[in-house]
Structure 1
Amino acid sequence: MRESPSSRHAAEFLMDDEGVGSTPRVSVITPVRNACSTLLQTITSVQTQTFPDWEMLLVDDGSTDGSVELIERLARRDPRLRLIRSQTRHGAPAARNLGIRLARGRFIAFLDADDLWLPEKLACQVPRLEAGAGIVFSSYRRISPEGRHLGVVHARPSVQYRDALGGNPIGCLTGVWDRERFGPAQMPELPMREDYAFWLSLLRQGATAEGLPNVLAEYRVSSNSRSSRKFRAARATWGVLHREVGFARANVGFALYVIRSIRRRLGNN
């Protein structure tokens, strides 16, 4: 049997926190690759959570810009920060999967190295998870690379599998999921929209994702070409749907995705 990239990745990392033995309630997983310009803000947004029972796994994916040194410096002062250093580059999905395997918490959250959480995020979500929700997500704000507000993406009150076939309704930076309910879930290692494929894989198990109206996170919009990014995102969305439900149903789902994209552009989330 050929070894998967994830399996190879698991054998090619160094962990700097082997003496840490506590079991936090929430594990926050952040892939890091040359993110020094935004990483401090991202880590600080987790450190200032009003819910303190968390760990943050910062999975370095071959950074060369000082990101590792920054994490090491911060982790010396805050043992909840865990640096995991990959010896080779495998991409963000593989880094997240490595984080999932090494996480100690029951509830798993994702946060990219240029995005931010508002201080009350986990305090709002953990009680809903404790009450039995399998996935909890929220509204979030889009911001420019400089931090300028660009608008809000509003969360739906609830999402089931069939609802998600018209496009990804869960902002990856807002979702928290209960791994005791879903077992050893892994993110598909796709070039784009791997988070969408991941949420579909959980919702397919019969879960309902609970959406909170609160704006609890800020998503930093890339300065890359918007038109080319939208085309690639649309193509990747169709690819996820085709992989999930086949050609005919993928076409129907993609049509819904296009309609919802137009509605968002017109300001009707």
Structure 2
Amino acid sequence: MPLISVIIPCFNAAATLGATLEALRAQTLQDWEALIVDDGSTDESAEIAKHVAAKDPRIALTRNPGRGPSAARNHAGLNLAKGRILAFCDADDIWTPGKLEAVSKALDAGHADAVFGQTAFFAAHPSDARSISGVSQGDITIETLLGENPVCTLSNLSLGAEHFRALGGFDATLVHNEDLDFLIRLVGHGGQLRGLPGVHVYYRTSPSGLSADLAAMQAARRRLLATAARFGVTANRRNEAIYLRYLARRALRLDLSPVLSARLALTGFVTDPGGFLSPVHRGLATLGAACAAPILPGATRRALFSK
């Protein structure tokens, strides 16, 4: 029985899947299985997966066509995975070599029920990463999750398989924020979610990807607020200001319109100046020229780009 089951939803990822699998096979911890769940790809994704699987019996390809990435993750995590630990990875992201070793040590030591590391954001190659997320100390609360997502991407989440199954997996009806919805339910039911120092994931930014659809992300937020309310937690103006700051910074990372970033930032500042200017739990390193694009008040810019 493998220690870790790696779950990789895949849809038309022929251009990136090979690099994702290469980074997986380069892990310092080798006690894993990988379940690639093809969601109906029309490119060569399945052929690439089969080719790598022929060389490495730990890798298996299955299909769950047309049901979306959350359903793909659930299919593998609820029905197929054999590992005590589940680690999710998107087919266009790249793990650092020590990721699985770090998360397995933390989870086996009982330091948390679910863990994540730091994320580096890149466009073409990991060496081009312009920003790196941070991790805050202590357990993540629902209040924190209503402000911003410290996990950043599901490629950064690892947890005990029993916790995933107890919660019934991800809400497959959500197109956006399914990760936050799951994390709120995990924490709401008493699960400990903690960050680990060190970069675990290189996240490939794509302005055309789902994560770039900020308007839809805002619409999905209503569902998150309803989930949090079930645990007696409601968003306040401070949460909303931090969330708008998170969207503004995400728009900059994805090289979206500077006007959109400025509008989100200014709205957040007006909503609650104290919350907007509060310390950034996922502090950035350097954003380069993108930092200079929006014309923002000095205090607003410091909140967006502070470490």
Q: TM bucket by the smaller chain?
A: 0.7 to 0.9
Which one of 135, 141, 161 corresponds to residue 114 of structure 2?
A: 135
1:267 is the counterpart of 2:281: no
Task: Provide the rounded CA distance (Å) in 1 between the counterparts of 2:103 and 2:233.
Answer: 36
Please say which structure displays the higher CA radius of gyration: 2
The offset of 1:181, in angstroms, is 4.5
Stretch moving more, 244-253 or 234-243: 244-253
Task: Provide the rounded CA distance (Å) in 2 between the counterparts of 1:205 and 1:79.
Answer: 36
Report the aligned-residue RMSD: 2.4
- Match of 1:241, SS state, is helix
Q: Indicate the structure with greater strand content.
A: 1
Displaced runs of 4 or more, over 6 A: 225-228
Q: Which residue of 1 aligns with 2:253?
A: none
Task: Provide the rounded CA distance (Å) in 1 between the counterparts of 2:226 and 2:125.
Answer: 36
1:91 is the counterpart of 2:68: yes
The offset of 1:226, in angstroms, is 10
Query: How many residues matched?
Result: 246
Contact 1:29 1:100 in 2 (8 A): yes
1:207 is the counterpart of 2:187: no
Deviations 1:214-256 (A, max 9, x none): 0111110013289962333233234322343279924544333
The verdict on how the C-alpha distance between 1:268 and 1:99 changes in structure 2, with shifts beyond 3 A counting, is farther
**Aligned letter for 2:69?**
A
Mapping of 1:137-152 within 5 angstroms?
A: 137-147=116-126, 148-152=128-132
Q: Which residue of 2 aligns with 1:174?
A: 156
Contact 1:188 1:198 in 2 (8 A): yes
**What's the % identity of the aligned pairs?**
34
Q: TM-score, normalised by structure 2?
A: 0.73
- Match of 2:213, SS state, is helix
The answer to which structure, 1 or 2, has the higher relative contact order (CA under 8 A, 6+ apart) is: 1
Contact 2:142 2:228 in 1 (8 A): no
Deviations 1:97-128 (A, max 9, x none): 00102110111111100001000111111111
Q: Which residue of 2 aligns with 1:192?
A: 176
**Mind listing any 5+ residue stretches in structure 2 that lack a counterpart?**
248-264, 266-279, 284-302
**Mind listing any 5+ residue stretches in structure 1 that lack a counterpart?**
1-22
1:164 is the counterpart of 2:178: no
Q: Indicate the structure with greater helix content.
A: 2
Q: Which residue of 2 aligns with 1:14?
A: none
Mapping of 1:22-171 within 5 angstroms?
A: 23-86=1-64, 88-101=65-78, 102-132=80-110, 133-147=112-126, 148-158=128-138, 159-171=140-152
Task: Provide the rounded CA distance (Å) in 2 between the counterparts of 1:76 and 1:146.
Answer: 27
